[in-house]
Each structure stands twice: as structure tokens, then as C-alpha cells.
Amino acid sequence: MAYLSNPVYMIRLFFVLIATLVGYWMGNATGQSWPTGLFYTGGAFIAANFIVVVEIATGCISSKKILLVAIGLVMGLIVAWFVYPTIPPTIFGANVEDGRWKIQVICNLLFGYFGIILAMKHADRFNFSRPSFVMASPGETSKILDTSVIVDGRIKDLVMANFLEGNFIVPEFVLIELQKIADSADAKKRSRGRRGLELLDELKNISPRLAIYEIDYPDIKEVDHKLIALAKETGGEIVTNDYNLQKVAALQNVRVMNLNELSNMLRPSVFVGETFDLQVVREGKEINQGIGYLEDGTMVVVEEGRSRINCEIEVQVTSILQTPAGRMLFARISNDAPQSRQQPGRSAGDSGSHQRVARERR
């Protein structure tokens, strides 16, 4: 009987008992025979249980939807109050008063239903968590954040630097996907998911323009397609790192901001024929290829560079390949580059220093 210790259950039980007693009292107050009293008592008992069931059912609906449904009902009844006097009461017969009453009941039912159903259907479009979403400038476009851009982390720096205008929306289905990643059995995925959730928490503290958008599309399974549907519905633009999502959204005339493209645009320009110093860190896929990286992370494939691993050499750019993930440079060892390799027992840093000193002496 542990449920009896819950005050909510106790209140429901007392409500049913009191309502039944009131029905019994009303039946006796009429002075009718016992079948009439039994009808009042049974009717009050059934009505009380029906109200309790409706109250329990409201627990499956969010408070926002209940509020919007109430507003929709009130608006529907107001419309009905203006409409029913325009309908002739004689439509139901010669009795004017009886016809007016019937028309009023029908209008209240009809417009009340439409008010409730419209509020339920469009409840997800309303968000009361941030006043800025209501008072936003019409010229500002909402930015819908994708899972990949949240996990990436660079969005935080862009928001803090005020490089992105408008409000930022994180749909509820993106939060669910982040939570699944954070609960993954894979350690790397779990770490990325938790980092994304922590980033959102930090963004909510530093930016009043970020809000969680309570919306979902049960008929759509893929998160990418849900993002496109939300962008179409709200007129916002998607912020992502996903190249495939960008292409699919572009086909459906949805604006997308790809942070990887922005990062590539901000990288220093490198031209064919340019020479610079590069540390070869590992071997490439092809024969005699070496791999190095610029300070911004751009990968450089060096011909005949396998023998120069852990050495800092001068290379000359021969071609540039632009890929969805970024730039890739192809280079060859400059003609005046030293041919010495790292000596056994020396570290990569010592070898690099040795090469630089040799060039300075020359």
C-alpha cells in the first residue's frame, strides 16, 4: 500500500469519495425515490473517476502544450461568440429561442475543437524559454545547430566572438542524438558526446540567444532530414560540419553554414611554386612519399620524402588539391634542400635544429 503514502493519490481518492457523497446528497435533496438517488450517486462516482483519468492523462502532455490548448480553446470560444449571432435561429425550426441555443452549442463545439486541434498541431513552433526568440529582429536568421558542429566545439568561439548573428536553436532530437553518443559503449564516441553536452551547457551560460527547441518529426527517422524540415519550417539556416548534409540541404534550397569551409577560407594562402620549411613526420601511402603538416593542420604529401622522416627540410609546392575535408598540398624537396638524414641517437628536434644551423652557415 505504498501508493497511499503519495499525497497525489490520496487527494484523488478523497476527491472521488467527496464527489460521490455530494451526488448522494443531491439525490436525497430532490426527495425522489431510491432509483433517482442511486442515479445521482452513480453518476457522480463515474464523473469523478472520469475527471481523475483526464487529469492523469495530462501527465503525458507537456505544460506548454496544455497552456497552448487552453489558449486555443478560449480563442475558439471567442470566435464562436462572434459567429453564432450571424446564423438565423429559424434554421432549426420556428422556435427562435430553441434554435439560438442549439446554434450556440454547435458553434462552441466546432470552433472550440478547431482552437484545440490547431494549438496542438502547432505547439512545437512556440518557445517560451527565451524572450529574445519572440522579440528577435525580423532581419535576423536563426541558426540551427547540428550534432557535428556541437561536438566539434569551434561554435563556442564563434559565438563568443560575435561572428554569428541571430538566435541559435538546438532541436530536441539533436539533444537525444547527443545523449545516445554520450551513452555509447565506444570510449571515443562517449567522450565526444559528453564534450558536446558540456559545450551546450557552457553556451547557455554565456549566450542568451541559445535555446532548446522542443520539436520532433516522428514521421522522419534521419536526424539530417529532420534538420532540413525544421529549417524549411522556421526559415532558419543549418550550421554543420557534415558535407553530405550540406549537399542534400542545398538541393532542397535550405541555407547551410559549413564551419569546415569557413576554416578553409581563413587558412593562409599557399601557391604552387612556393617554398617553405616542413617537418616530415611519417611515411605516405605511395612509394617514397613522406607526410608533413602545416601549423593549421593542412596535410602536405612530399615526393621522395620517406627518407627524410623526422627531418625538417625545405619543400616546394607542386599542386594543391581541394577536398570536402580541406586542402591537401603536394610538394617535392627543393633543389637546394640538404640531403642529410637524422643521425642515430638524435631526436627529431635536434635534427631539425641541425638542418637549420647548416642552412644558416651556408
Q: What is the DSSP letter of 274?
A: -
Higher-confidence position of 337 and 176:
176
269-361 topology per CATH? OB fold (Dihydrolipoamide Acetyltransferase, E2P) (2.40.50)
Per-residue pLDDT of 36-62, as tens digits, reads: 667 778 888 888 888 888 777 766 666
- Write down the domain spans for the chain: 2-124, 131-265, 269-361
The residue behind cell 563568443 is 160
Round the CA-based radius of gyration of the chain to a whole number and report it.
35
Query: What is the per-residue pLDDT for 75?
Result: 92
Per-residue pLDDT of 265-312, as tens digits, reads: 766 677 888 888 898 999 888 888 899 988 777 889 999 888 888 888
Cell of 334: 627543393
Query: What is the per-residue pLDDT for 133?
Result: 44
Strand order of the sheet with strand 237-240? 210-213, 168-171, 143-145, 237-240, 256-258
| Whether the predicted pLDDT of 24 surpasses 90 | no
Are 282 and 291 a contacting pair, CB within 8 Å?
A: yes
Query: What is the per-residue pLDDT for 290?
Result: 92
What are the C-alpha distances in Å from 8 to residues 13, 19, 20, 55, 56?
A: 9, 17, 19, 11, 11
CA atoms within 13 A on the CB side of 337: 24
CA–CA separation, 245 and 28 (whole Å): 71
Higher-confidence position of 123 and 321:
321
Are 64 and 172 a contacting pair, CB within 8 Å?
A: no
Lowest mean pLDDT segment, chosen from 89-98, 234-243, 257-266, 302-311:
89-98
Cell of 228: 532540413
| Whether the predicted pLDDT of 206 surpasses 80 | no
Report the chain's mean pLDDT, rounded to a whole number: 77
| Whether the predicted pLDDT of 355 surpasses 50 | no
CA–CA separation, 171 and 145 (whole Å): 8
Query: What is the per-residue pLDDT for 327?
Result: 77
Percent of the chain with pLDDT over 70: 77
- What is the SS3 assignment for 109? helix
Per-residue pLDDT of 99-133, as tens digits, reads: 788 888 888 889 888 888 888 777 655 655 444 44
Nearest Cα residue to 170 out of 140, 139, 204 = 204
CA–CA separation, 292 and 330 (whole Å): 10
131-265 topology per CATH? Rossmann fold (3.40.50)
Are 144 and 225 a contacting pair, CB within 8 Å?
A: no
Reported pTM: 0.47
The mean pLDDT value for 324-345 works out to 64
The mean pLDDT value for 154-162 works out to 81
Are 263 and 326 a contacting pair, CB within 8 Å?
A: yes
| Whether the predicted pLDDT of 237 surpasses 50 | yes
- What is the SS3 assignment for 240? strand
What are the C-alpha distances in Å from 186 to residues 63, 178, 183, 222, 338?
A: 36, 14, 9, 21, 45
| DSSP assignment of 149-174 | HHHH-HHHHHHHTT-S-S-EEEEHHH
Cell of 311: 627531418
* Paired sense of beta strands 312-323 and 275-283, if any: antiparallel
**Which runs of E-coded beta strand occur in the chain?**
143-145, 168-171, 210-213, 237-240, 256-258, 275-283, 290-293, 299-303, 312-323, 326-333
- What is the SS3 assignment for 292? strand
